Amino acid sequence: MKTEDQVRGAAETILGFNDGESGVEQGTGQITTFNHLGFAGKNDKPDGWYLPHDKSKVAIVLEAKAEGIAIDRQPCADELLKNVAIVRGKYARVIGILYNGTSIRVWKNTEEVSATVSPVLERKDYYTGLFASAPINKQKIYTVTKRINDSLEFDFKMTDLTDRMIFTACALVAQRYCPMPGLASQKGNGYTLVHAWINHNLAVAIGSGASGVSAPAGKLDILVQEFNKIAPSVTANTDALDRIIDAVCDIADLINSASWNGEDVMAIFFNEFNRYRSKKKLGQVLTPDHVTSFMYRLIGVSKDDFVLDAACGTGAFLVKAMCNMMNEAGGYHSAKSADIRTGQLFGIEMDRRVFALACANMLIHKDGKTNLEQLDSKLPAAANWIKAKGVTKVLMNPPYEQKNGCTDIIANVMDAVPAGTLCAFILPDKKLEKAHCFKLLKKHTLETIVKMPEDLFFGVGVTTSVFVFRTGTPQGERDILGYYIEDDGLETVKNQGRQDVRNRWPAKEDYWIKAIQNGDDPDHGTKRIIHPTKSTLSYPTPEKPFEIFEEDFMKTMMDYELFQRGIDAKAFGDALVRRVLYASDISQTADEVTVSIKKGDAP
């Protein structure tokens, strides 16, 4: 049988605690105390430890036993959980492993998960991934977002929605980068102290760099500057502020536990927040998360692409691209993922405060964050910036209002990227129908138009299509292929917008991507050939089929007969209803109800 020392040594190799990984304290032994590892005053000695310098990451604690010791005994579990509790003083997510060389028990924080994990000891990446596999609790995101918004608006009289979004996003960034216990340590303090704590930790996040790369201060300082402009009318409501802190911590936990294969928490969060925007301020419409996924696949973005969104808003397309590209590259910890985050995602946003939100979003997701610029995408400066990036794919939801120069942005972007670049823009159906838009076709080819569901942008009152261009080649006589996704499977949930409550969209997305790639739509028959020189640049509006029912025919015949006899149809109908209700004999059998009116009483 193996001794405890032998079990510990074998575990070190299997877990990879001796692989020289940078940015962590890791190892095994019986000499090192928690005090030596940075946990002041804690003289307990763990058998193994994996402690990332970034406290938002997952930590691991190992408790080794000799092979002959049964680890199902409670004292063994208590010993491990004591060490887990020590590590949780600085880390929100801790894996505890109890191992005797043949048997294993595993905890996520204080919850034992042994029944649902591998029965043999795996490499450390397996265990850090246990926290990343939890599905997103969308309902909780909706509930918590509403709680934050309502409290900031009504308890603190923060009347501007963008102020409320910036405050929350900055609190999330601060929570993301500061050591435990983080923002929760500020409960009981007033607004001034909480504001100062967030401001300090924003500076820490910006100064250190989310990926270990310092970003130019000028760009990210905008985030701090906009945060410091926020001035709520009420600052003395400590109880309400404590509730906001709890809610922000809840969102932070959801971000940490979100699967990269699913929807992005911040995309759902920002879209949910945006539902509270005044209808007078809907020029910038946030892109639904399932649409970002569809457009990513529609133009075949891959891990090797360089992706641009020149109207990036809060960064939904960029975060979706980052998520999918890193998954393809082997996950967040792969060598390629660092290249993706730091050098393959590019965003431009004109609005200063929305740009601040984009910076916060990318910081939260730990990208390189050096590739966002506050520019007007219609102007030469933006074109020059784009030309230097080597862009290979464009994903955009430009502002729809005419004053923002939607088509000017599209033209400037397509002229700036290399020839042959695929660009997907989601726009109002008829946006490209004006005469000057046909000038786009003198330089570029519009290959595909995909009309989206009528109610895609819930409550906005605009119908949209995705327009796919290939740059650098004139349209000439080439036809455009059109398709119509009439139903995306989402349903309207009261006070919560449209949601995929029945998980219908993934299968629909798979169908439509395959159908468009194959140039056919066998299930729905919506494929259309559009001639750009003979018709408008939009999917032809489907005509509803003409239907007539027997009731319609009988009503028309009756109205005509009454007209021929000079009888007022409305007066006759009112009189008939009165007779039936108050002056008729009604009899009923198992099969029918008979209403009888005496001939002399008929209207």
What value does the mean pLDDT take over residues 430-444? Answer: 85
Q: Give CATH for domain 4-133.
A: 3.90.1570
pLDDT tens string 109-156: 999 999 888 889 999 988 988 876 556 677 788 888 889 999 999 999
| Residue pLDDT, tens place only, 398-413 | 987 766 688 999 999 9
Q: SS3 for 516?
A: helix
pLDDT of residue 565: 85
Domain 4-133 shares a fold with domain 285-350+375-454+462-484+524-534: no
CA distances from 183 to 101, 132, 188, 248, 490 (A): 40, 22, 11, 8, 35
Per residue in 66-104, pLDDT (tens digit) is 999 999 999 999 999 999 999 999 998 999 999 999 999
Please give the C-alpha separations between residue 546 and each of 485, 526, 541, 549, 553, in angstroms, as whole numbers.
21, 18, 15, 10, 14
Task: Give the residue extent of every domain in the chain.
Answer: 4-133, 135-283, 285-350+375-454+462-484+524-534, 550-601
- Taking domain 285-350+375-454+462-484+524-534, whether its CATH number is 3.30.465.10 is answered by no
Least confident stretch, 27-41, 198-212, 455-469, 575-589: 198-212
Contacts of 174 (CB under 8 A, 6+ apart): 182, 183, 197, 198, 200, 201, 202, 205
Best CA proximity match to 406, nearest among 283, 497, 554, 586: 283
**Please, which residues have CB within 8 angstroms of residue 361's CB and are 6 or more apart in sequence?**
169, 266, 270, 314, 315, 319
Share of the chain above pLDDT 70, in %: 87
